[in-house]
Amino acid sequence: MMGTHRRTRTTPAPCDDRLDDVLAWIDGDLPAARVRAVAAHVAGCPGCASLVDELRLAIAACRQAGDCRVPSSIHRRARTRARAIIRRG
């Protein structure tokens, strides 16, 4: 269920070693051969599950805001910045 894994002081941060795969999975860019493994990891990892829930909610809010295409350069910068913030914890 969406939103059930809110990050709190007791929720661990997402796994650094899985972050790229989780972000690619959310974006729909993960190779098919890895989708099942990443989905299983997210299902069992509170930190990654929280990240996925939060990002999916943010994506949905952006979609509701309007049909505006974000330039790819901004998308890349935002993704890089999000990774840096997540890794800092």
pLDDT in tens, 7-55: 455 667 888 889 899 999 998 999 999 999 999 999 999 999 999 999 8
Containing structural domain, residue 67:
16-88
For residue 9, tell me if it sits in a domain: no
For the four alpha carbons of 44, 48, 52 and 58, in that order, the dihedral sign comes to positive
Confidence bin at 89 (pLDDT 50/70/90): low
How many distinct structural domains can be found in the chain?
1
For residue 23, tell me if it sits in a domain: yes
The reported pLDDT for the residue numbered 72 is 85
For residue 26, tell me if it sits in a domain: yes
For residue 39, tell me if it sits in a domain: yes
Query: Which of 43 and 4 is assigned the larger pLDDT?
Result: 43
Q: What gap in Å lies between CA 83 and CA 10, rounded to an integer?
A: 20
Q: What gap in Å lies between CA 63 and CA 4, rounded to an integer?
A: 21
The predicted-structure confidence for 69-79, as pLDDT tens digits, reads as follows 778 888 888 88
For residue 57, is pLDDT > 80?
A: yes
For residue 2, tell me if it sits in a domain: no
For residue 27, tell me if it sits in a domain: yes
